[in-house]
Amino acid sequence: MIVTQFVALGGVVLLAAMSPGPDFAIVTRNAMVSGRRAGMACGAGIAVGVFAWAVVTALGIAGLLAASAVAFTAVKLVGAGYLVVLGVRALLAARRGEYDSAEHVPGARATSAPAAFRQGIVTNLLNPKVAVFFVALLPQFLPTSATAADHLLLAGVAAGVTLTWFTVLAGVVSALRRLLTGNRVRRGIDALMGTLLVGLGVRMATGWPVRAWR
């Protein structure tokens, strides 16, 4: 394999990661509500999910999922439900209001790094569109006689690019967070992110374009 193949794959994965979607929304909310560490942990969870999807694609499992209407629908509905739950929690936080500080989430503690990591990996793994994305994408960057090492290298590139992007996103959002500590602003952010997550969950359940995999 040559460097240009890795660069091309990284570019495609970066564009997909930057597209608004469940992963983008969950990292943004964690970084905004709980800080840079939580946002980065969430991004790390997503990167692990991406690596896992790339590996199962190499093993052929993702292809089976993409080809099975029943399995695809089951994973899609579970993932959609999870997004709706996260969105409803954000909407309830916005309804309660009364943010005492940038670290406080009404009615609950700020999300810890381990919890944010779990949210990231679960959100990504329960999005079957990622399986479809990798089934369609990875073969285009692999030589005819691809080895296990080639598959692992591509999986590492995809995960590394994903982690880098969401680390940057978490840092930017966290920096802006210091300027957005007002009660009204925080409630507006939670209301917006909650609505977005619920909307993404509904859209996932009813079907959406593959390009919106994140």
So where are the chain's domains? 20-212
For 149-201, the pLDDT digits (tens) are 878 888 899 999 999 999 999 999 888 876 665 566 667 777 777 787 788 77
Return the ∠ at Cα 124 (arms to 106 and 32), rounded to 5°. 30
Q: State the pLDDT confidence band at 97, using cuts at 50, 70 and 90.
A: low
Q: Which of 110, 43, 123 is nearest to 82 (CA)?
A: 123
What is the pTM assigned to this prediction?
0.70
Burial of 4 (0-12, 13-18, 19+ CB in 10 A): exposed
Q: Which of 104, 106, 108, 89 is nearest to 181 (CA)?
A: 104
Token pair belonging to 73 = 């629908």
Residue 108 pairs in a beta bridge with 105
Look at residue 167 in the predicted model and tell me its pLDDT. 95
